[in-house]
Structure 1
Amino acid sequence: MCTSWRSRSRRAGRAVPALGAAVLAVVALGAAPGPAAAHAPTWELTRTDTDVRFRGLAAVDRNTAWLAGAKGTVLRTTDGGAHWTPVSPPGAQTLEFRDVEAFDARRAVVLAIGEGEASRIFRTDDGGATWTESFRNTDPKAFYDCVTFFDHRHGLAMSDPVDGAYRILSTRDGGRSWRVLPTAGMPPAQSGEAGFAASGQCLVASGPKDVWLATGGGAVSRVLHSADRGLTWTAAETPIPAGDAARGVFGLAFRDRTHGIAVGGDYNAGLPSPRAAAVTGDAGRSWTPAAQPPPAYRSGVAWLPHSRTAALAVGPTGTDLTTDAGRTWRTVDAGSYDTVDCARDGGCWAAGEKGRAARLSHR
C-alpha cells in the first residue's frame, strides 16, 4: 500500500480538502491537554454488504479506495464509501487476497497468498470489469505475502524464505509480468522467520528505489532494506519482540527514505504485546522502541498526509495516534481494523474483519 509514488504525482500546490485540513487540526491539537481529545480522528464506518475480512487496502484519494479480502473479494468505491462495488476477478472465490496496490480508480494490482499456486497476482485496467492473471506461483515452497510499487511501472512482491532466503518478484511494466530476482544479495533468513500477510504492509517502498521488508517468527524481529529495488539487502534487528511464530513486525510505513515506523507484537488474542512499535531515522539501519507504544498488537500503520510527525496504527483492539513521529501513542478509537492507508489529498481509510471499511473524519 505504498503511497509514495502517488504522492509525487499530485501537484505540490494543490489545496488540501476539508478532510485533509481536519487531519492537520488533529496534528496541531494532538499533543495538547484537555480539548485535544475532542478533536481526535474518528472512523466513519461504511457499508460494504459483506462479512469477509479485508487485509488489503489502497487509498487513491478521499473518494476512491480499493479493498481486497477473503473469498477472492475485491471492492472499489469512487464516492467516498457511500457505495462499494464488487469487482472481484472471476473464479477467485477460493483465493485469499491480502494486498492491493491501486494506481488510480481504474488500474490496480491484487495479490492472493498461500502455498504453491494459491499465490497469484492479478491486474485490472478498467476498474475491475476485467482482470488478467499476471503471475501464478509454481514453487510449492514459496508463499507470497505482500506487494508494493515504487511508481506506476516498477514494483516488487515478496515470498517467505525459500531455501533459506526471501524470494523477491520484480515487475517493470506495472504488474503485467513478473520475474524472480536473484538471491545473491539477500541475507540468510533466520530459522522460523517469515513475513506476515496481515495488512499488506510487510513490504513497503518510498521513493524510486528504496524498499523495506518486515519479518517475525525468528529469534529476533528484523527489517530488511534495499536501496536498489530489491537487488541487494541489509538486515537490522528491531526491538519489537519475536521468538514465536505469532510475534514480530507486522506493518511498516515510511514517510520518506529515512523516517519510518514499525508496528507489530503478538497477534494471538488476549496476549500482551509490549514494545509494539519502533521508529527509525536512518532508513532502517537502526530502530528505537517507542517510549509509549500502543497498548496491544497492531498490524497496520500509515503516516497522516501533510505531516512529518503524525501517524495512525490499527489493530483488532483499536486505533492509536502519534503526533511525535512514533515516539508516543494514544488510543483514539476502539474499533477493530487490520489495515490503514492514506492518500495525499487527506483521504485516510481503514479496513478489517466482518466487512469493516471506514473513512477518517473529524468531529
Structure 2
Amino acid sequence: MTSKGKTRRMMSVGLSGLALAAALTVPAYGASDGGGSGGASGGAPHAGPYGAGWQLTETGTDARFRGLAAVDRRTAWAAGSKGTVLRTTDGGRSWRNVSPPGAGELELRDVEAFDARRAVVLAIGEGEASRVLRTDDGGATWTESFRNTDPRAFYDCITFFDQRHGLAMSDPVDGKYRILSTRDGGRSWAVLPDAGMPAALPGEAGFAASGQCLVSSGPRDVWLATGGGATARVLHSRDRGLNWTVAESTIPAGDPARGVFGLAFRDRAHGIAVGGDYRAGQASPHAAAVTGDGGRRWKAASTPPPAYRSGVAWLPHSRTAALAVGPTGTDLTTDGGRTWRTVDTGSYDTVDCTRDGACWASGEKGRIARLNGR
C-alpha cells in the first residue's frame, strides 16, 4: 500500500475524511451486495447499513487483488493472483491490464505506485517465487529488480518512504525478520544487516494478506506486523529498518492463522492494527487495536470489528476516521479506532485512501471499488 510519506500529485480535494465519515452514518436507502458475488461488475453503489457503499468497477478479471496503491482520485494500481496488474487513470471507469509478461505463475501481493507511470510490485513465495518488479512506463514494460535466491526467505510486504527509499520484509531467516532496502526507487535492492532486529518468536511470521504488514509514515518510520507466535507483535524502526523495537499488540495470536494482518499510521504516533483469525467461521475477538505513541503501547478497541479484518486505512484529512475491510465486510471508526461499526457487507482484502479525497478497496473475484458517500 502507498505510504503516508510518499509524494503524490495533489488534485482538488474532494470529500474530506469528515464528510466521508458523515456520509457513512446516514441511514441507508439501499442494500449491500451481501459479501462477494459479482465482484468484477460495475453498477450502482452497494449501500451498507449506515448509508454509503463501495462502487464496484468493471475489471474484466477474476483475479484476487490483495495489493492496492491509490495514487489519487483518478489513478490507482492493483496487483493480484495469476501475475495480474491493473491500472486505472479515469477513476475506475476503465481498467487496463498491464501485467508483466510471463508473470502468470506469480502471486502478486503488494504494489507501491508513485504516479500513473511508475510502480513497484512484490511477488511472494518461497525461494525464487519472491521477486520485485518495476515499471516506469505505466506497465508497458517491466524490469525484474530483485529475485530471492535464499530458499529460507519468503517476502510478504513492501513499503516506500518517498520515491527513492523503500523496504521489503521477509519472514524470519535464522530467527530474525529479513529486510531489503532500496535507495533508487526499487531499481536495486540490498539486504540490511540484522544486528538491530529483535529475535522472532517460535512460529512467528508476517501475513501477505493486504500489503499492510509493512507500512511507513514520514521519511524514516516503519512498522512491521506479525502473527503466528505466542503473541501478535508490532515492530517499529525509526531509522528505515536498521534498528527495531518490539511491542505486543492486544490482537490474539497463538495459532498460525491468527495475528495482526494490517497496519495504518496517519503520522509517527497514531496507528491502528487489525487482524484476527483468517479462517472462515472462526471467531476473531479483539480484532483491532490502537496506539498513540508510535507503537510502544497498544490498546484494544472497546468495540472492535465483528470479524477478521485484513486491511485498514485512515480517511483523508481526518484525525479520527478510518475504514477496516475483510472478507465479511467494511467497518468505520470515527473515534480513532476505539469503536467500530459495520457499514458494508461486501468482501474486500485491502483498502487505501488518497490525500485528494478518494478511497479504494480490492479483493476476491476481481473486485475493485471506490467509496461513494450519500
Shorter-chain TM-score above 0.5: yes
- 1:326 matched residue in structure 2: 337
Q: Tell me: CA distance 1:308–1:182, structure 2 relative to 1, closer, same or farther (3 Å).
A: same
Q: Matched residues in 2 for 1:208 and 1:321: separation?
A: 28
Q: Give the fraction of aligned pairs with identical amino acids, expressed as a percent.
A: 77
Task: Say if 2:314 is the partner of 1:303.
Answer: yes
User: Aligned with 1:353: secondary structure?
Assistant: coil
| 2:57/2:368 contact within 8 Å kept | yes
Match of 1:16 among 13, 17, 30: 13
Contact 2:24–2:343 (CA under 8 A) maintained in structure 1: no
Deviation per CA, 1:240-278: give whole Å up to 9, x if none. 000000000000000000000000000000000000000
Measured against aligned partners, the alpha-carbon deviations of 1:3-46 in whole angstroms (never above 9, x if no partner) come to: 3123x5556xx6422xx24x4323346679999x8864310000
Q: Which residue of 212, 219, 225 maps to 1:201? A: 212
* Equivalent position of 1:126 in the other structure: 137
Amino acid paired to 1:2: T
Change in CA separation of 1:32 and 1:144 when aligned onto 2, cut-off 3 Å: same
- Residues 31 and 323 in structure 1, CA contact (< 8 A), matched pair in contact too: no
Residue equivalent to 1:339: 350
Alignment of 1:25-44 (within 5 A): 25-28=19-22, 40-44=51-55
Secondary structure of 2:5 counterpart: helix
Q: What is the CA–CA distance in structure 2 between the aligned matches of 1:149 and 1:9, rounded to whole Å? A: 12
TM-aligned CA distance change 1:341 to 1:290, over 3 Å = same
- Structure 2 distance, partners of 1:356, 1:32, is 25
- The answer to whether the Cα contact below 8 Å between 1:27 and 1:307 also exists between their aligned partners in 2 is no
- Read off the aligned partner of 2:13 and give its amino acid letter: V
TM-score normalised by the chain length of structure 1: 0.95
Cα pair distance change 1:240/1:212, threshold 3 Å: same
- 1:5 matched residue in structure 2: 5
Deviation at 1:2, TM superposition (A): 2.9
| TM-score using structure 2 length | 0.92
Alignment of 1:142-153 (within 5 A): 142-153=153-164
SS in 2 for 1:159: strand
Letter in 2 for 1:223: V
For 1:233, the equivalent position in structure 2 comes to 244
Residues 1:356 and 2:336 aligned together: no
Distance in 2 (alpha carbons) for counterparts of 1:40 and 1:271: 28
How far the C-alpha of 1:310 sits from its partner, in A, is 0.3
1:215 has 2:226 as partner: yes
Please give the alpha-carbon distance, in whole angstroms, between the structure 2 residues aligned to 1:226 and 1:282. Answer: 13
Is the Cα–Cα contact under 8 Å of residues 288 and 304 in structure 2 kept in the other structure? yes
Match of 1:157 in 2: 168
Deviations 1:178-211 (A, max 9, x none): 0000000000000000000000000000000000
* Partner AA of 2:248 in structure 1: E
Note the aligned Cα RMSD (angstroms).
1.8
Asked if residue 69 in structure 1 is aligned to residue 69 in structure 2, the reply is no
Contact 2:133 2:143 in 1 (8 A): yes
> Structure 1 residue 135 and structure 2 residue 146: aligned?
yes
Q: 1:313·1:319 contact (CA, 8 Å) conserved in 2?
A: yes
Query: Take 1:72 and 1:39, find their aligned partners in 2: how far apart are those partners?
Result: 36
> Equivalents in 1 of 2:51, 2:89: separation in Å?
26
Q: Which amino acid aligns with 1:209?
A: R
> 1:80 — aligned with what?
91
Q: Distance in 1 between matches of 2:26 and 2:84?
A: 41
Partners of 1:85 and 1:270 in 2: how far apart?
Answer: 35
Taking the aligned partners of 2:23 and 2:140, their CA distance within structure 1 comes to 43
Q: Distance in 2 between matches of 1:38 and 1:184?
A: 49
Q: Which residue of 2 aligns with 1:114?
A: 125
1:274 matched to 2:268? The reply is: no
How do 1:162-177 residues align onto structure 2 when only pairs under 5 Å count? 162-177=173-188
Aligned mates of 1:72, 1:165 — CA distance in 2? 29
**Structure 1, unaligned runs of 5 or more:** none
Q: 2:67 aligns with which of 48, 56, 61?
A: 56
What is residue 102 of structure 1 aligned with on the other side? Answer: 113
Any idea what SS the aligned residue of 1:5 has? coil
What secondary structure, in the 3-state scheme, does the structure 1 residue paired with 2:365 have? helix
Instruction: State the alpha-carbon separation in 1 of the partners of residues 238 and 368 from structure 2.
Output: 34
Alpha carbons of structure 1 residues 119 and 34: separation in structure 2 relative to 1, 3 Å: closer
Hey, what's the Cα distance between the residues in 2 that align with 1:3 and 1:15? Answer: 20
Q: Closer, same or farther in 2 for the Cα pair 1:28/1:335, shift >3 Å?
A: closer
Q: Deviations over 1:299-318 (max 9, x none)?
A: 00000001000000000000
Looking at structure 2, the residues matched to 333 and 38 of structure 1 have their Cα atoms a distance apart, in angstroms, of 7
Distance 2:3 2:267 in 1: 11
Runs of 4 or more consecutive aligned structure 1 residues displaced over 4 Å after TM superposition: 8-11, 28-35
